[in-house]
Structures are given as structure tokens and as C-alpha cells.
Structure 1
Amino acid sequence: MTAPTPTIADVLERRYGIVPERLVQLPIGQGTTNYRATCAGRDVFVKNYPPGSDLAGEADAIELSALAERHGTPVAGLLRNHVGDPIDTSSPYALSVWEWVPGAVVTTNLTVGQARAAGATLGRVHSAFAPLPASTGPSPQAQNWLAVDLADMAATIDRLSDIAKARMATGPTDPFDAQAVRTLAERRDSIGTIPRLMAELPKLTTQVLHGDYSPVNLIFDGDRLSAVIDFRPPDPFFVAYEVGRVAFYPNTVATTTDWPATARTLIEAYVRANPTVADDDIRACARVALLQLLTSLYGVKQHYLKPGLFQDALDEFWLLRHQAVRVLLDHQADTDALLHDIISNR
């Protein structure tokens, strides 16, 4: 197979009429390989999908981005190839091309303005997607999420811990191994709380979501949200999940002391923008965020079983997610009170 950079540069020129003067791989993204192409007078963002990707689903995700834009969400502009395709498959490297959006990703210490913008924009996205036919269909993803296999999870934790311990015993020393052994032992002790947390959940709304709405997919220019990127294919899941995930984002919860105020600002803005959201979905969003973190071994699992594209970032994310679990477990009464207050003041 031809080397990716020359092939991608050729596709850009042949299929898009774009001649890149420079094509640089970006150290972001775990599911796709991403590039910044510098051209005469403009830059573009290139997303290269790995072999085996569901390209039909990715095309549907691109349509969701366009729908969100029609309802007032700022998004990156898609550039179609010469024949109008959203994804080019003329080479072994399937790709989509987007306008470059200047700005910055902010994963901790969101300002009040940024939190408000993130919440209001998510509210508009959910309001726009709720009427879609797929939103009223079944949600296998939600059913699978609710059916946690604790025995299997415990076995996986033990397996990962054993691998880390074996590496520590044989060397060379990797500081992450000791961190993994400690955090996995703490997670093993915590998973017994999962059945109670699940039992306390109300009936939750499912619908088509953004699918990956988190600070890493929000581009800010100061307090202004200049683009929401990386919409995922339409696969109905819990509204409470997507609200809770961004409001109680691990980086924020694990590294700041004012995370409750950030969550309040974001959720209040969300409710104003999506006033038909059910009280139970707001009431449960912190609990769902906690359960998502508590039942996930994302990061540490990749480290020992199948390393990701940027495993160092995944290692750090595992540690932040684990710390966020500890904080949210210790502050369940506080988050319950915060959400009750938001609902009471609707």
C-alpha cells in the first residue's frame, strides 16, 4: 500500500482541487488519523478512516453535523469531493475534508462563558435531533449499558492487574504499571456499588445524540464556541449520559475544585435551550456519568491489550477518569442536591 501522506496529498489535489504545501499528522483522535493540510490561502482538516470503518455510518454522522448547523450549532464546514461525495474512497485511505476552524480545545477550567456556550449548544443539538425517526427506535446500546456483567468486569480487572504486576516483576520499569496496579485495585473495590447505583436510576430518555460531546470536540475562540466537531453516527442513547458526560467531564472533576459550579452553569444553559428535556434525565445525569466512568476500563485496557494511536494520552485519561470516579463517589449527595436545585428552578 502506498505511504499515506503522499496518497492523501494526491487525493486532495485530484479529487478536491486542493494542493497541499504541507501535510502534517495531528496528535489527536483515537478512531481516525487526522491531518492539517496547509494550502495556498487556506488550511483544511483531513480525517482518514481506518480500514473496516463503517463509512455509511460516518456519512450519516456528517449529515447530523449539517442538521445541527441548520438549527444554529456552529460546525466545521464539510468540503465534498468533485463528484459530491462526503467521504472520498478513491484510494486505500478513505477520508473526509473539512474547513479548518481556528481556536482551542479547553479540557479543564472552562470559563463561565464557555460552560454556558457548551450547555446551550448541546441543548440545541438534542432539541434538533429528538424528532428524528431513529430517536424513537430501540436502543440496543442503552440495553447493553444497563446490563453490566460484574463478574466479567472483575475478571478483566484481575487480568489487567496481573499483566501489570508481571511487567513490574520482569522489567524494564514503566511508572504506569505501578499506577495501574493501584488504580485497578481501587476500581475492583468500587464496582460493588454499581448494582445500587443502577437500581436507583429512573426511566431515562433515549434519542439520537451528538455521540461524542465532550470538551475535546468543542473548539473555542475565547468564550465563543466556534465549532462542534466529530459527530458520531445516529445510535440512540441516554440524554442523561451526554449531558452528564460534558457537565462532569473527568478532567474538570479530577483537577479543579469549582467543578460543581461549572456543571451548574452548563446544565442550566442546557435546560434553557432544551426546555422539553425530562426532569429525570437531568436528575440522573451525574449518576449516569459516574456509572459510565465506574464501568469503563478505557485507557488502561488499551495499554495492556491493544494500545491506541496515542497511548500516552489514553494512560493519562485513565488516571483522570479514575480520579473523577473517586470524587463523584464521595460527592453523590452534593451532585444530587445541585441537580434537584436546577430542576426546582426550571
Structure 2
Amino acid sequence: MPAVGVTQLTKQALVDAYGLHVLELRRIHAGLATINMVATVAGGDRLFVKVYRRGADLDAARAAIELTRYANAGGVPTALPLCDARGATVHAGLGFGLSAWTFVDGDCGDTVGLDAARMRSLGEVLGHLHDRLATYRRAEPGVRWCDLVRSRASITAMIDQVLQAPHLDRATRVWGAGVLRWRLARLPQVDEIVAGLPEPAVQVVHGDLHPGNVIFRGERVAALIDFEPPAVRQVLWEIARAACSQYAVLHDGRWPQRLGCLLRAYRSCNSRVPAGVLAAVPWLARCVMTASVTPFDDLVEGRAAHLAAGDPLSVPALVRYAHARQEAVARLWEYSDDDDQALRQVLGCRASR
């Protein structure tokens, strides 16, 4: 969709379908699946506007909005959707869909350091969120920690794709292939660790909870945004995506202690997940991130070569992200049995490893 045409159509929809007097509408480089904008309306208020790309599943978008509302009704801080004149949360009269949301002031977690205070606040909100969403839909059995046969095949194939990607410079191709071989060589150790992990705890969760979808105001979480449609997933992996991301792990040398702050705060707001299971978060993060081709799958996509440098899917941005993520994965492999015992002490559970 041409950006100029989408902006004009979106502005007109905000006027006609939402009854808003739009003073300014500008696109922001955030999010991958949607085109995102900020609207300033009469009186100076701002709204967040999400435009769904043509062909997007608008029923899934509506389901994600319903899950957001359910979390918010339980006291979880979120942005809230506006309804159009017909009461719809997704306006679909343009040939594509859009939703308008209250604007939450603050900084995304991928732009501020996840220090101990922010990790603690995030742990509290995550615990509250999972406690609330545990009542949304019954869990389903059969969730696995890692499919290592599939991981081995995916990593092996991705090595060739990285080496042959014409839009990547030689240094990036060589580095990327080396990282993927490093991950491949560690899959036997991943297999051993996975065998010792507790049974996965599963329920409906946010679905895309990474630091970029957490808005902080100062040291406190102001909102969780961009929920996925409700689906049963692993609770620990959702925690690990934030607590063991590069934005957390690389903030300073005291990441294991800050992880303890987050998990203890989580436990104080949600007793459904046993403390001994929570202690598996860093081990799970080590395994899943090592067995993954992320973000090389995005990096080898030809479309990345045609985007502006400020876009989150541009080649320079993804290369920087890939380097930081791999540094965090390497740091996770330094997480030791001593770190594990210290975390278990913080959580008040017995030593096991």
C-alpha cells in the first residue's frame, strides 16, 4: 500500500467513521505486521492508529483486541481501542482495516535500559497478566519446549540462505553463517538441557511480549501493547522473551540479579506457576534462542533490502539487532549452576541442578 494513499484514507476514516477532527497524522517506524501512525486531534489529544495490511486477518485482529480488553478489565495496564460509529473495534470500510487506540505516553522497553526497577515492575505486570489470562481459556496439552529435529534442519538451511543473500555484504554473510554454525554445534547440549526442564506450563498469554511491546513511564510499566489473538502458549517462554532479551541481558553485568528481581515480583502477583518452574526461565531462554534462526529469517528476506534505514525491518537495523541478540545468547551460555542456585534462593525453592 502506498504510504501517501494510506495516510489520506486513514485520516478520512478517522473523520467520517470516528467523528474526529484530525490536526496531524504521521507514520511511525514501529511494528512489523501493520502500518502504525500517531494522530493528533482537536484539543491536542493523541491517538495510536494501526492500519492492517491488505489481506490481513481482521477477525484475528478483533480477537486480539478482545483479549486486550479482557486483560485491561482485570487491572492490567494496556492501551484501549476506540469504537467507530457502528461500535466496531476494527473499521473495515477502506479495502483494508484499521483500529484506533488511546495513546500511552512513555518509552518502549527496547529503547530504555531494563534496570532492576523496570525488571521488577515488568515482573509484577507479567504476573498479574498471566494470572488474569489463566481464566480466559482452558489450557491444551501437547506443547513442547523445542523441536530440535526441525531446528537442526532450519539452521542448516538458513546457513546457505545467509551465504547466498545478495543484499548482504560479505562480512555480514560470513558472520551470520558463523553464528548459525555455532548454534548448530550446541544443539546436543540444548537437547540435554531440555530433557531436564520441567513440564511446560501453558495457558493463554499475550503472545508477542517482547520489550518493544512494553511501554514504561519512568521505572514503571505504563502499558502492554500489541496483543496477539488468544492462543495457548508456554508461559515461561513469554517471560523469557522479555527477561532474557538483549535489552535485559546486556544492560549491565548484573543480569542474573535483575532476573531474580523480575521473577520474584512475578511470583508475588501470580502463584499459579511454581517457583521451581520459574527458575527454569534462563535455561529455557538459552535453549530456544540457540535453536532459533531469528532474526536471520527476516534478514535474508529480499524485502528488507528495499526499506528505509529507519524502518525496523531494514538491513542495517536487522544486522545490529542480530549482533545484539547473539551477544545475549552467548551471555546466556555463561549462566552457571552458581547463578541458578542464587536464583533459587531468591525464589525460595530448593536446589535441583
Say yes or no: TM over 0.5.
Answer: yes
User: Scaled by the length of structure 2, what TM-score is found?
Assistant: 0.87
Whole-Å separation in 2 of the counterparts to 1:335 and 1:54: 44
Which is worse superposed, 179-188 or 60-69? 179-188
Whole-Å separation in 1 of the counterparts to 2:198 and 2:219: 34
Q: Alpha-carbon deviations, 1:29-72, whole Å to 9, x = none?
A: 11211111122221110111122322222211111111111221
- Alignment partner, residue 109 of structure 1: 113
- Alignment partner, residue 218 of structure 1: 214
Question: Structure 1 vs Structure 2: percent identity of aligned residues?
Answer: 27
- Alignment partner, residue 186 of structure 2: 190
Q: Can you give the 5+ residue segments of structure 2 that lack an aligned partner in the other structure?
A: 305-311
Which is worse superposed, 181-190 or 289-298? 181-190
Contact 1:286 1:335 in 2 (8 A): no
Contact 1:211 1:231 in 2 (8 A): yes
Whole-Å separation in 1 of the counterparts to 2:49 and 2:170: 34
Q: CA deviation at 1:148?
A: 4.2
Q: Alpha-carbon deviations, 1:119-138, whole Å to 9, x = none?
A: 001101110111223x3234
Work out whether 1:273 is the aligned partner of 2:276. no
Aligned length: 338
Work out whether 1:233 is the aligned partner of 2:229. yes
Q: CA deviation at 1:338?
A: 3.6
Whole-Å separation in 1 of the counterparts to 2:298 and 2:55: 19
1:280-291 aligned at under 5 Å gives the runs: 280-291=276-287
- Alignment partner, residue 41 of structure 2: 39
Q: 2:98 aligns with which of 71, 95, 115?
A: 95
Q: Alpha-carbon deviations, 1:75-120, whole Å to 9, x = none?
A: 1121111101111111122111001111111335323332211100
Q: Which amino acid aligns with 2:7?
A: T
- Cα distance change of structure 1 residues 52 and 288 upon mapping to structure 2, 3 Å threshold: farther
The CA RMSD over aligned residues, in Å, is: 2.4
Work out whether 1:340 is the aligned partner of 2:344. yes
Whole-Å separation in 2 of the counterparts to 1:35 and 1:212: 20
- Alignment partner, residue 309 of structure 2: none
Whole-Å separation in 1 of the counterparts to 2:261 and 2:251: 18
Q: State the SS of the aligned residue for 1:125.
A: helix
- Alignment partner, residue 253 of structure 1: 249
Q: CA deviation at 1:145?
A: 4.3
Q: Which amino acid aligns with 1:319?
A: H
Q: State the SS of the aligned residue for 2:25.
A: strand
- Alignment partner, residue 164 of structure 2: 163
Contact 2:263 2:347 in 1 (8 A): no
1:253-332 aligned at under 5 Å gives the runs: 253-308=249-304, 310-311=313-314, 312-332=316-336
Structure with bigger helix share is 1
- Alignment partner, residue 19 of structure 1: 21
Whole-Å separation in 1 of the counterparts to 2:145 and 2:200: 14
- Alignment partner, residue 307 of structure 2: none
Q: Can you give the 5+ residue segments of structure 1 that lack an aligned partner in the other structure?
A: none
- Cα distance change of structure 1 residues 77 and 331 upon mapping to structure 2, 3 Å threshold: same
Q: Alpha-carbon deviations, 1:168-219, whole Å to 9, x = none?
A: 7xxxx46533432332332233333222122122111100001122221111
Whole-Å separation in 1 of the counterparts to 2:176 and 2:281: 28
Whole-Å separation in 2 of the counterparts to 1:202 and 1:269: 21
Q: Alpha-carbon deviations, 1:248-271, whole Å to 9, x = none?
A: 122221352121122111111000
Contact 1:254 1:321 in 2 (8 A): no
Whole-Å separation in 2 of the counterparts to 1:221 and 1:111: 13
Q: Which amino acid aligns with 1:329?
A: W
- Cα distance change of structure 1 residues 39 and 31 upon mapping to structure 2, 3 Å threshold: same
- Alignment partner, residue 80 of structure 1: 83
User: Scaled by the length of structure 1, what TM-score is found?
Assistant: 0.89
Whole-Å separation in 2 of the counterparts to 1:151 and 1:180: 16
Contact 1:146 1:198 in 2 (8 A): no
Q: State the SS of the aligned residue for 1:21.
A: strand
Contact 1:4 1:93 in 2 (8 A): no
Contact 1:120 1:266 in 2 (8 A): yes
